[in-house]
Amino acid sequence: MDDPLKRAIAPRKNVRSVLLVALALVVLAVLPQLADMFEQPAMVSLATRIIILAIAAASLNLALGYCGLVSFGHAAWYGIGGYVVGILYNHYVSGDPLFGLPLGTDQMLITLPVAILVSGLFAAVFGALSLRTSGVQFIMITLAFAQMIFFFFVALKAYGGDDGLIVRRRNSLPLIDTRDGATFYWICLVIAITWFALLRRIVSSRFGAVLSGVRQSERRMAAIGISTYRYKLVVFVISGMGAGLAGALMANHARFVSPDMLHWTQSGEFMIMVILGGAGTLLGPAAGAAVLILLESQLAAFTEHWQVILGPLLVLMILFTRGGLSGLWKLLRGGLNG
């Protein structure tokens, strides 16, 4: 408790924000019912997608926003998570052995942890190499590794190559019917809440304090005797695991995985979500994911030239706010209060 670093970055707690979280959670929890009430059943699926992407964006934010590691390759871990689900499912259906063992499965309790572990493993190997660089070089080397993994899956004919893999049925859970859209939404919601709670623990811990120290001045951290490389690697791996988790959920949601999940534009989209929502804020990336996806889907329904509206909107957002949506919110609140 007496750790000054920890005190410095501890979030300001007040009753109002606790109430707001509670309200948000209630709304999210009854969203399927609300969707029924407003006769918008497709909302549930859209909300599921947003929640999954929010997990991925928040995971990237842990590295990017809190530790200053601008990774342009997170789609790789996201895609690997998805492919773990796809490959395990395909072996389960065909009965073919994987690595000579009957490892195929469609049990979510197995596939999700495996997806997290495998993405974490890959993130550890490539992160260990990438972290030998920093700054723009780090951005580009993460991109390079992600592109290599992308081309690997494109060439992987045994698992569909460029066409991807169909997961005809969602992974199952004991006692719960995951095929129901609302049920799957709740599963994702619970996982997302757990993941965000974990992220909050991480960033408000002593570990998190070191991370933000690294972001501000790596040299200073090294000077007080902290091995920054190890911290950065750990955070990169956790971040990759989160992306893998999101990928595994997306494979279940879309019931389809393809190399598109690993393409650099997907990495870019995660970055956009983080920046749009506000890097280095806990819930910013979730808001960024929600706004980006909602704008995309609503504008596309409104006009086929939706990009000509979305593009300038993004530009204006950056020019007139600082820190994306979080900045916009601060601006608005400042205007109201002052």
Partner 1 sequence: MKLKNSISAAVLAFLVAGPALAQQPLKIGMVTTLSGPGGYLGQDVRDAFNLAIELEGGKLGGAPVQLLVEDDALKPGQAKEIAERFMKTEKIKLLTGIIFSNVAGATVPDILDNGGIYVSPNAGPSNFAGKECHKNYFVVSWQNDTLHESAGQNATNLGYKKAMVLAPNYQAGKDAIAGFKRFFKGDVVGEIYTRLDQTDFAAEMAQIRAAKPEVVFQFHPGGLGIAFMRQYAQAGLLTEVPMVVAAPSLDAVILKAIGDAALGVNISSHWNSDFDNASSKKFVAEFQKKYNRMPTYYASQGYDTALAIAAALKATGGKVEDTNAFSAAMRKADFQSVRGAFKFGPNQHPINDWYSLKVEKGADGQLGIVTKGKVLEAHSDFYAKSCKI
Partner 2 sequence: MSLLMEQALNGVQLGVTLFLLAAGLTLIFGIMGVINLAHGSLYMIGAYAMAAVAAKTGSFLLAFPAGLLAAGIAGVAMEYLVVRRLYARDHLDQVLATFGLILFFNQLTTILFGRQPLFVEIPDFLEGSVMIGGIVRYPVYRLAMIAVGLATAIGLYVLIARTRLGMLIRAGATNREMVRALGVDIRLLYTLLFGVGAMLAGLAGVMAGPILSVQVGMGEQVLILTFVVVVIGGIGSIRGAFIGALAVGMVDTMLRAYLPGVLRQLMAGPDADALAAGLSAMGVYMLMAIVLLVKPQGLAPAHG
Under rule CB under 8 A, residue 305 binds partner 2: yes
- Give every CB contact of residue 263 below 8 A, 6+ residues apart in sequence: 75, 150
Under rule CB under 8 A, residue 279 binds partner 2: yes
d(CA 70, CA 91): 36
Q: How far apart are the first and last CA of the chain?
A: 34
Q: Decide: residue 88, CB within 10 A, 0-12 exposed, 13-18 middle, 19+ buried.
A: buried
| Beta carbon of residue 229, minimum distance to partner 1 (angstroms, whole number) | 30
Of residues 127-166, which lie at the interface with partner 2 (CB under 8 A)?
129, 132-134, 136-137, 140-141, 143-145, 147-148, 151-152, 154-155, 157
| Beta carbon of residue 18, minimum distance to partner 1 (angstroms, whole number) | 9
**Closest Cα to residue 66, out of 268, 223, 207, 249?**
207
Under rule CB under 8 A, residue 227 binds partner 1: no
Under rule CB under 8 A, residue 267 binds partner 2: no
Count of alpha carbons within 13 angstroms of residue 178, beta-carbon side: 19
Structure tokens, 58: 């928040």
Under rule CB under 8 A, residue 154 binds partner 1: yes
> Alpha carbon of 181 to those of 32, 47, 186, 318: distances in Å?
9, 11, 9, 35
- Cβ-based nearer residue to partner 2, 3 or 162: 162
Among 10, 17, 132, 177, binds partner 1 (CB under 8 A): 17
Among 81, 164, 208, 247, binds partner 1 (CB under 8 A): 164
State the residues that interact with partner 1 by CB under 8 A: 17, 20-21, 23-24, 27-28, 31, 34, 38-43, 45-47, 49, 154-155, 157, 160-164, 166, 168, 250, 254-256, 258, 260, 277-278, 281-284, 286-287, 290-291, 294, 296-298, 300-301, 304, 306-307, 325-326, 329-330, 333
